[in-house]
Chain A
Amino acid sequence: MNTTIQNILVLITLGLALAFLVKKFFWKKSAPKKSCGGDDGCGCH
């Protein structure tokens, strides 16, 4: 029982670590939406 819980915890930790690394190095952040309220050269006029 104890071994199973420990193995589950290892897998969860591994999953979190992999998710963090993928997010850090491969996840492309979407560009923030620019306001179209003024003449800020955002190209939407």
Chain B
Amino acid sequence: MSKQINVALIGNPNTGKTSVFNALTGLNQKVGNYPGITVEKKQGVCKLPRGVKAHIIDLPGTYSLNASSLDENVVIELLLNKNDKDFPDIAVVVSDVENLKRNLLLFTQIKDLEIPTILVINMADRMRYKGISLDIEYLEEHLQTKIALISTRKNEGIDELKQLISNYKVVSVTPCLNPSNIDKTYFESLEKAFPNQSLYKLWLVITQDVNFGKTDRNEVQAIASFKTKSKADLKRLQQKETIKRYQFINNVLKKGQTIDRSQAKDLRSKLDRVLTHKIFGYLIFFIILLTIFQAIYDWAQIPMEFIDGAFASLGELTKNTLPEGAFTNLIAEGIIPGLGGIVIFIPQIAFLFLFIAVLEESGYMSRVVFLMDRVMRRFGLSGKSVVPLISGTACAIPAIMATRNIESWKERLITILVTPFTTCSARLPVYLIIIELVIPEGRFLGLGYQPLTLMLLYLIGFGTSVFSAWILNKVLKIRSKTFFVVEMPNYKLPLFKNVGLTVLEKTKSFVFGAGKIILAISIVLWFLASYGPGENFNNAENIVKTEFASQNLSQGELQQKIASHKLEHSFIGITGRAIEPAIRPLGYDWKIGIALISSFAAREVFVGTLATIYSVEDDDVDTITNRMAKDTNRITGGKLFTLASGISLLLFYAFAMQCMSTLAIVKKETNTWKWPVLQLIIMTAFAYIVALIAFQFLK
């Protein structure tokens, strides 16, 4: 009678595990469900050499033994329950030659359960395309296992695998990792409490929330002398376990695996060689950026003009339709222009996020992170800082929160402090409106001056954050180091649905997140601009009529003078004129001053504020941009928005810490007011000085 053994096929998803199962069992397989759950159970029979028969179970794909789904629970429950009729005599871990490092994490975990474990390295036919070579003998020795190098696609190595399975008794069960290396005290106390049990098995019982049959967590906790740790501490130990395992894997692969990308012949490797090239990589990235910014301008122009005109007409329609009075004015001059100031930027913001989503979905963004890592290291930052800095182009708040995965406090603090320099989407409306006002529409080598300026502002933001990081790295005396690992996904055509959803979600959060604040601020600003104290405001009509009695002004011109006089003596006008001396050297007037203050709530409020102020001042139906373009500086008599004042304003917004929410999140992440206050003072002072120099040079 032939002997039957249980074989468990285990592996990460997409390693070709099912192909191995099919190659071993052929048609001798059946599919059912695990009792009580809807997880598919595939099993089959395979004849092995020397008359041994194997009952093979194809277990659900899992990345590790830290279960997070029903599928993964099934794997752990089987491997920990020796009484299960399917408990394996041998575990066959299937890995993919291209992702060996990641796949080996699961291998080391299974091996530590002291089950005979064979490593199958699948897709061996891809090795020469990928420039990968393996020292199988070395790997077998250091992983203390038997390795089958196979290709299910070419049906190679299957007989050797069968041979190895049939010799399962000679496979070593020595663990890869001694649990005491994770936390000596904790595991010693665990060993003391359960002297005859596998430490790693006990560790899984404690940390995994699955049904373990005979050994359950109550039994563990029942031992009075044994004190379990809090959930947070256990999580920390789990993370430490993963780090220890990867250290072991890295050491083994350092000698056991060679990857020579220059020998790789597949399309992905060819593309990677160009896109991450130390010269062409940056050049291509630069060209892609140029194309994106040019497209943002060219494609968004028509919808923006339409929105601008539509809001101007809506304001007029409201005024003509609703009964005359303060509330009608509030809607027509406060709310509608304020909202119009933000809605107008939807097309450009949607296009920006469309391009970012396409770059992310296609797999190119990971290459950018890799490219940038090379630059960042020269400035004392870890590659992990690249992710917050790049995601800071959307918003600094989630970007600062994303620094939590930087282990080194120094690098994390530096990243938190420099991230607000990255051009966030809230700066975009400010940049766009000022660029439109002061930068000419001409082209240079087919590229518009306006998109070039916008791109330059993004580069200035990124450059300043990297340069400040370099200074902070020299100034802050904290010693520490971290490592950066990034997985390069395969290139793929972006899915329309995914890209569409990202654009929709980002645009929605931009409009509704800032929209509510802008709406509220527009209402307050309209009130402050429409009411004022004293004779100068209440008796404006008589004062203006007397002042201009000698000049033959038309009715329209007279009304305009009255509106301007009232605005100057309104609450907002008085406040604005009080701060005007401080901002006059930068080329700004009191209206810009008010916009600077109100935009401290959120940068994009700047445009809404100016839209509301101009709307109160000017009764004519016109777009925001035209109203701003027409405005004059009451001191110089010239245009308010000139190249000098425009550049000064752009630079001020590029460097100033104009965001209350960012300061709050910096306080939360650093747990002190010291850093956000320093950040506010230094960034604002720097912005002021740069804007001052720019205006004084260009005026």
Residues of A that sit less than 8 Å from B by CB: 2-3, 5-7, 9-10, 13-14, 16-18, 20-21, 24-25, 38-41
Contact = CB atoms under 8 A, between A and B. Distances in A.
A10 B327 contact: yes
B601 interface: yes
Nearest to A40: B231
Contacts of B516: 20, 24
A9 B321 CA distance: 17
A12 to B, nearest CB: 9
Interface in B281-336: 323-328, 330
Given A2-B323, A20-B516, A21-B520, A13 B330 contact: yes
Interface in B262-290: none
B521 interface: yes
A20 B520 CA distance: 7
Contact of B520 (A7, A17, A40, A41): A17
A17 B523 contact: yes
A41 B228 CA distance: 12
Contacts of B228: 39
Interface residues of B, number: 22
B524 A17 contact: yes
A4 to B, nearest CB: 9
Nearest to A22: B520
B233 A41 contact: yes
B449 interface: no
B523 A13 contact: yes
B513 to A, nearest CB: 11
Given A9-B327, A10-B330, A41-B231, A25 B524 contact: no
Contacts of A9: 326-327, 330
Nearest to A45: B230
7 tightest A-B CB contacts, nearest first: A6-B325, A41-B230, A17-B523, A6-B327, A17-B520, A9-B327, A41-B232
B63 interface: no
Interface in B172-216: none
A21 B233 contact: no
A10 B529 CA distance: 13
Contacts of B471: none
Contacts of B324: 2
Contact of A24 (B231, B323, B517, B527): B517
A21 B519 contact: no
Contact of B519 (A7, A17, A38, A41): A17
A21 B524 contact: yes
Contacts, number: 60
A14 B327 CA distance: 11
8 contacts: A2-B323, A10-B527, A14-B523, A17-B524, A24-B516, A40-B230, A41-B230, A41-B232
Contacts of B660: 25
A11 to B, nearest CB: 9
A11 B260 CA distance: 72
A36 to B, nearest CB: 13
Contact of B326 (A3, A16, A21, A25): A3
A13 B516 CA distance: 13
Nearest to A25: B660
Which of A7, A13, A21: most chain B Cβ within 10 A?
A13
Contacts of A5: 325, 327
A28 B623 CA distance: 39
B233 A3 contact: no
A7 B233 contact: no
A41 to B, nearest CB: 4
A20 B519 CA distance: 10
Given A9-B327, A9-B330, A24-B517, 7 more contacts: A10-B330, A10-B527, A14-B524, A17-B519, A17-B521, A24-B516, A38-B231
A13 B525 CA distance: 12
A16 to B, nearest CB: 8
Contacts of A7: 325-327
B594 to A, nearest CB: 15
Q: Which of A14, A17, A18, A41 has the most CB of B within 10 A?
A: A17
Contacts of B325: 2-3, 5-7
Interface in B23-64: none
Nearest to A43: B230
A18 B524 contact: yes
B119 to A, nearest CB: 37
B330 A25 contact: no
Contacts of A25: 601, 660
Interface in B672-695: none
Nearest to B230: A41
Nearest to B525: A17
Interface in B507-554: 516-517, 519-521, 523-524, 527
Contacts of A16: 520, 523
Contacts of A39: 228, 230-231
Nearest to B530: A10
A21 B521 contact: yes
Interface string B103-127: 0000000000000000000000000
Contacts of A13: 327, 330, 523
Contacts of B524: 14, 17-18, 21
Contacts of A2: 323-325
Contacts of B601: 21, 25
A9 B517 CA distance: 20
B326 A10 contact: yes
Given A2-B325, A3-B325, A14-B527, A21 B330 contact: no
Contacts of A40: 230-232
A21 to B, nearest CB: 5
A8 to B, nearest CB: 9
